[in-house]
Structure 1
Amino acid sequence: MMEQVIFFTIAAGFLITALLSPLFIPFLRRLKFGQSIREEGPQSHLKKTGTPTMGGIMILLSITLTTLIMTAKYSEPTSMTYLLLLVTLGFGLLGFLDDFIKVAMKRNLGLTSKQKLLGQIIISIIFYLVLRQTGFSTEIHIPLTDFSIDLGWGYALFIIFWLVGFSNAVNLTDGLDGLVSGTSAIAFGAFAVLAWNQSLFEVSIFSVAVVGSVLGFLVFNAHPAKVFMGDTGSLALGGAIAAIAILTKLEILLVLIGLVFVIETLSVIIQVISFKTTGKRVFKMSPLHHHYELVGWSEWRVVVTFWTVGLLSAILGIYIEVWM
């Protein structure tokens, strides 16, 4: 039964995205919704200028349809289902506004950092308030131990930090063709296994729906990319993976399963602190994937290496939770 649910859910998500893309990509081109490439980025990326962006719309549509259809068929939609869709679509809408301002209004930076942060915080607070209405525990489990910490009211701050932090982490990682599509498929796949292990079938179905949807998108997003997901996709995926970690009470384990996203974010933080305090850069460029490009790695080599790191960390995360 489990294998059947997983197969059909992945297949549904994959087909919806894969079938939508050939129709949607030309539509984005006609609207001239092309990506603007930062001049301070790697020079090899300048050839990507004009590649359609906001492809995350296809991912969000596929995730929503697949989740609702497959959950109704194989499980029962619960508050967790709607909470996951709330966060995914909420962060996706915020990313859409950011992308729209960039490509339609020709403001290359999109929303200001304060506007984006405010939107993320508001969505996170709504998520927390709805979650607390269900009597959800405010404890955080420490992996590899029997120890838990009850954060009480501080759990609200933790949720805000986790949702905002990981939505931005995935957003920072989205800088190479197929990088986020592949790493997110791996991370969501890991959480699908862990949610199923906890009998949280609706969470598992949602996770697998994401896997299928991003793999369908990867067909068109792999190097050389025909479309980018934009902030519409990356912010939504980051918020969704954090929400799943919270609902499964595996918040801390997300640091391991989402190790690529964490490392990419840390590379930016380290670079900024180093430059501001010493005037020197630790990396040739941040996030880290650009550093490896500038030392001579091909874009495809960087992406496959990061996918491999993501896969190994996901396997380790499953091993720690299920077998240790």
Structure 2
Amino acid sequence: MVVNVKNMIDDELFFGHKACAGCGGSLALRAALKVLGPNAVAALPAGCMSAVGFNFPQLAFANNAMITPFAATASVLTGIEAGLRAQGKKPDDCTVVGFAGDGGTADIGLQALSGAIDRNDDVLYICYDNEAYMNTGIQKSSLTPFGAKTTTTPAGSNVHGCLTQKKNLFEIVAAHGIPYAATASVGYLNDFIRKVERARDVHGTRYIHVIAPCPTGWGCGVDETVDIAKDIVDTGLWYLAEYEGERVSGQPGGRFRLNRDPKQFASVPAYLRRQGRFRAFSDDEVAAVEQGRDAKWEVMRREWRG
């Protein structure tokens, strides 16, 4: 059955958490676990979702779930999967899934993730990307976009926020030859749900990178999360795509595929101006962001088969 927001299970497997109003990460976890079901075993490092989901004596997970060391999410997933296999559990019986933020994935946890992909462990890794270390006070991560204001990249009269570009973790993961990887956004929930379902049914290491806005860190309304997560896709600043490695696609080197190709991009200035973290952006900087987007899309449209 193809799962979508209309026919997914009513059971809530992530509930009663202490996340901020409008939290995109909690929405991603809730939807993913509805697809993976109650037998999924989850592991989470230090981060927003572990902070809000494990509050003694209350556990917000109906699934088996545990907190991992910050750098060890993928390593713990490897151990869980090996333990279940030793008990005679089959991969289709339960999905071993990790939920980690952008800092715990692209920075602190990248070594363990790379190792898991190299071993092709039978695990699913989901990065909920709110583009900074939100849980510890909104510090920059390597997935913080250019120009974003954080507590470690302040915006002033001379420097307007983050000076570096967002790391392209999706393509870094794909370069490992991973069986399956995808990008997603909570603004396009049916697409995200479909990709979780697809990843559930692929064996080996799988990776999904989902944009999950944080109203607290992004400086937007708590009722704007889904709209902004949709806008970042419509503006072309985030793309929805999949990668299938050779073992899955049957093609040498694997295959990239764009899932959505806007014929006309939505307004970048409107997207940026509705967020407090980009308030210091100049018109020239906005134009530079648009130029970078156009260059990236030219490559994707030329090289990635639909």
Which structure has more relative contact order (CA 8 Å, sep 6+)? It is 1
TM exceeding 0.5? no
TM-score band, normalised by the shorter chain? 0.3 to 0.5
Please give the TM-score of this superposition, normalised by the length of structure 2. 0.32
Q: Which has the higher strand share?
A: 2
Q: Which has the higher helix share?
A: 1
